[in-house]
Structure 1
Amino acid sequence: MGLPAKLLGTGEQELLHLRSHGKTMIKPTIWLVVVAALFGAVFAMLPVGWRPVSGWVVTLLAVALAIPVYLLPLLRWRTTTYTLTNHRLITRSGIITKVGHDVPVSRISNVTYERSLSDRMFGCGSLVFTTSAEAPVVLYDIPKVEEVGVAISNLLFGVRA
């Protein structure tokens, strides 16, 4: 699902719509499993005479801890998108407060990518856009970063696929 048509200008076409690679959810998922195991062990050690009230208390505490540990990173990941059109690079993020940044394609002077060892294992990387007026725009953990970089370079230098 890309940007709604009402957010695109006249004659503007969406070329790519991306979000960060799912690898960004590995740590939150591990923490969620740890929280579940910890609270499961606590629940198992509670005296039977304290149940069911103690079970509800433990469950509420586990859910309260799972929200910042897993749910917020998941929502952050789902609400952060990167869209490339034939006119601009559009970044959107935010769960409650939405933040957007648009860079005209004509202002992008260089596209580079960076891939760490873990990025190479997961098939992703970071794209760095150097613009003529601003600090570089960095898009982290982009899937198939080399292919995306080539597509963007083709757009910038006028090569049509």
Structure 2
Amino acid sequence: MSYPDKLLAEDEEVVRHLHPHWLTVFWPVLRLLLIVGAASFGTAAIPVGRQQGLLRMLVLAVAVVLLLVTVLVPLLRWRTTHYVVTTHRLLFREGILARRGRDIGLSRITDVAYTQTLWDRIINSGTLTIESAGDSGPTVLRQIPDSDGVQQLLNHMIEEDADRRAQESAGYVGEYYGGPSAR
């Protein structure tokens, strides 16, 4: 069973599964190309001599460390960050080795707002701020693709969840009093 399906209840379905906007991986990919190019040039530029092998290994070691720190970590961070809207809740998970997450029931969400800079509007990205009942404060989700569409989706899902809960409670009251839904 794949993520996020393993986190779902029986009657819960994934409506939208997002990662941060794809442009968040632009700079790591550009750094990958620059580091590989510089390392290739550096190893080729080392003059022939007794120390050539050692110097080439040193250049490659520096390149590998740079690749791990400036490329691999941001790519893994992007890949392991999940924003999932389901029929019952909003799930947020992030982290490579240490994980952190938050689940907010749709019935607990009191406000969903989004903000976009001019650049965010150009690339169709933004920041969602989700207010929920409780003391934990707002949840801020950054670099959300189609942030205005996700905000509208969340508002729609909140209304559907409220309707579903009202129907369930009406059915329960009818069953309790022996009404038509008791049959």
TM-score range, shorter chain: 0.7 to 0.9
TM (norm. structure 1) is 0.88
CA distance in 2, matches of 1:87, 1:113: 21
CA distance in 2, matches of 1:157, 1:9: 20
The reply to whether residue 145 of structure 1 matches residue 141 of structure 2 is no
- Number of residue pairs aligned between Structure 1 and Structure 2: 159
Structure ranking higher in helix proportion: 2
CA distance in 2, matches of 1:108, 1:85: 13
Classify the secondary structure of the residue corresponding to 2:131.
strand
Conserved? CA contact 1:113–1:128, under 8 Å: yes
Report the residue type matching 1:42 in the other structure.
G
1:67 is displaced (CA, Å) by: 0.5
Identity %: 33
CA distance in 2, matches of 1:118, 1:147: 17
Higher mean alpha-carbon deviation, 76-85 vs 44-53, is at: 44-53
CA RMSD for the aligned pairs?
A: 2.0
CA distance in 1, matches of 2:120, 2:25: 14
1:32 is displaced (CA, Å) by: 2.8
Q: Which runs of 5+ in 2 are unaligned?
A: 164-183
| Correspondence for 1:3 | 4
Higher mean alpha-carbon deviation, 25-34 vs 56-65, is at: 25-34
Report the residue type matching 1:29 in the other structure.
V
Report the residue type matching 1:136 in the other structure.
P
CA offsets, 1:33-91, max 9 Å, x none?
Answer: 33334434432432121333322221121011110000000000000001111211111
Q: Which runs of 5+ in 1 are unaligned?
A: none
Which has the bigger relative contact order, CA under 8 A and spacing at least 6?
Answer: 1
Report 1:6-25 matches (<5 A): 6-25=6-25
CA distance in 1, matches of 2:125, 2:3: 20
Larger radius of gyration: 2
